[in-house]
């Protein structure tokens, strides 16, 4: 569900293992209860409380959660607000011991380099079944700094599925975060995690960006929609920061 890595390059040997591990992907998410129990354990041990603004804006049915990607742990809290969700995750995450297998069988969607259409197709099928997709258009962690420019995958998914965006932002005060260094996937990795304190979550109005279009939009329109949803998420980031005082 998250991307604990800074690099965009994947060693061929790691990619091969990751692609094989991702074959365990289960769209029925049979191990979702196990995965949620792991998330619950983290929440109980490491998060003092979660304050949410905008719960009344949550729409039922298939929806695309679009969020900022500041910390590895932010996405761990969203299932307790939105229910079961399917995160679009970098394929390397599926090579993690034990957890990687659980991710696949909990219905998290592997994104394999060069096979982006396959990931979007899986996400679209889930949306049409009324499921929730979580996607981070930034593509990698910002570690709490300025948000990165969004990639167009979320907009293309909204266009293909006809389902709405549900923008959301998570903010945790820097004093309640820790930088964790490691060595996964054949290279050094870095991620920021919440330890203690309050997580502030701001939820925006649902948005159907292509509802009024009769024709296939130009690439420039997909880019414009991407930039606008990122602006909406950025506004929610500022709202969450104000909640923190």
Rounded average pLDDT over 61-69: 97
> Given this model, what pLDDT does residue 7 score?
39
Q: Is-contact 64 165, C-beta < 8 A?
A: yes
Output the average pLDDT for the chain: 91
pLDDT range class, residue 214, cuts 50, 70, 90: low
Rounded average pLDDT over 89-108: 90
> Given this model, what pLDDT does residue 106 score?
97
Alpha helix stretches (DSSP H) within 116-198? 116-128, 153-161
Q: Is-contact 231 193, C-beta < 8 A?
A: no
pLDDT range class, residue 17, cuts 50, 70, 90: confident
Residue 23 in this model has a pLDDT that exceeds 90? no
Q: How far apart are CA 204 and CA 54, in angstroms?
A: 7
Where along the chain do its domains lie?
A: 50-85+115-244
Task: State how far the alpha carbon of 52 is from the alpha carbons of 47, 60, 82, 179, 183, in Å.
Answer: 14, 17, 11, 25, 34
Candidate ranges 25-29, 51-55, 207-211; pick with highest mean pLDDT: 51-55
> Given this model, what pLDDT does residue 9 score?
60
Q: How many helices (H) and strands (E) does the chain have?
A: 7, 9
Q: How far apart are CA 235 and CA 223, in angstroms?
A: 19
Q: Is-contact 77 203, C-beta < 8 A?
A: no
Q: For the whole model, what pTM was predicted? A: 0.91
Q: Is-contact 50 80, C-beta < 8 A?
A: yes
Q: What is the pLDDT of residues 137-147, one digit of tens each?
A: 998 888 888 89
Say how far residue 222 (Cα) sits from the centre of its chain.
20
């Amino acid at each position: 569900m998250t991307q604990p890595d800074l690099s965009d390059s994947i060693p061929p040997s790691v990619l091969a293992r990751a692609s094989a591990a991702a074959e365990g992907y289960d769209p029925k998410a049979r191990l979702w209860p196990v995965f949620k129990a792991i998330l619950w354990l983290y929440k109980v041990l490491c998060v003092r409380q979660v304050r949410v603004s905008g719960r009344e804006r949550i729409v039922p049915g298939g929806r695309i959660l679009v969020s900022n990607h500041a910390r590895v742990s932010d996405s761990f809290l969203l299932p307790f607000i939105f229910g079961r969700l399917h995160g679009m995750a970098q394929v390397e995450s599926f090579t993690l011991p034990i957890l990687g297998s659980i991710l696949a069988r909990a219905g998290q969607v592997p994104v394999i380099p060069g096979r982006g259409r396959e990931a979007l197709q899986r996400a679209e099928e889930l949306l049409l079944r009324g499921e929730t997709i979580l996607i981070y258009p930034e593509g990698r962690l910002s570690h709490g700094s300025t948000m990165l420019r969004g990639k167009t995958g979320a907009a293309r998914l909204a266009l293909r599925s006809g389902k709405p965006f549900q923008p959301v932002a998570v903010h945790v005060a820097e004093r309640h975060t820790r930088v964790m260094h490691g060595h996964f996937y054949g290279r050094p990795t870095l991620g920021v995690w919440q330890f203690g304190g309050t997580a502030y979550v701001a939820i925006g109005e649902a948005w159907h960006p292509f509802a009024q279009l009769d024709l296939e939009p130009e690439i420039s329109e997909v880019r414009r929609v991407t930039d606008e949803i990122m602006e909406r998420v950025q506004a929610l980031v500022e709202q969450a920061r104000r909640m923190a005082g």
